[in-house]
Amino acid sequence: MTATNEENVLPMSLFMDLQRSGPIPLYFQVSQRIEKAILSGELPVGARLENEVGLAQRLGLSRPTVRRAIQDIVDKGLLVRRRGIGTQVVHGQVTRKVELTSLYDDLTNTQKVPSTRLLTFESVPADTTVAEKLACDVGTPTLHIRRVRLANDVPVAVMENWLPEEFLTMEPDDLVSHGLYQVLRSRGVTMRVARQHIGARKSTNEESELLDVERNAALLTMDRTAFDNSGRAVEFGQHCYRPDLYSFEVTLVEK
């Protein structure tokens, strides 16, 4: 099968051995077979699944059974529901270790193709919060950047950053083709440590549109201030992520 704009009709051979009277729930059997087709590449990244009604009719199953099977795969991050497009295959969820890396790097390291939609690139005076984070005076010019980060053309995060005045010479094109940390490293900045807060909240109407999720959908959030090897704050960021496509991983060690 190849990924196209058309719906991919799942071959009946995937479901020939469904055990309709056995102990294993039918939704689980259907889910396992679709997941296998995705992981094997039979359903490639970008492929659109046929709608639940059509699949249920072809398999002789109830729509709730098929809906639950598909939702299980959505929850694993292998499928995503997109308004106006339908149910589409994506690579597995990006799991980010809580380390000083950028989302651009994380996507590249997990064999995904990152891309950027630049929303804002402007000089703005630092407000109280930004001034505190960047250790500058209120009103000091800062570079304000806002982007949508996509993985394989699927929106994953809305990212907002403020940088100190010295970075006002940065070019917008730099952030379309590269990650922010890549650009900073190219300018001689060595990120050494960061303070980070991870949380969750509901999406705003604008974020729902940008991330292609329902209104008031749950989002992961991360606020971060990164410092270079001299202890100077070089960026303050406020990011939000789709939890069906992104998660954080923390390793805990007992002392």
Give CA–CA dist 251/148, Å, rounded: 28
Dihedrals phi, psi of 171, to nearest 5 degrees: -100, 140
Q: Quick: pLDDT tens for 164-183.
A: 999 999 999 988 888 888 89
Distances (CA, A) of 195 to 192, 198, 223: 11, 10, 8
Q: Quick: pLDDT tens for 130-152.
A: 999 999 999 999 999 999 988 88
Q: Quick: pLDDT tens for 65-94.
A: 989 888 888 877 778 877 777 888 875 555
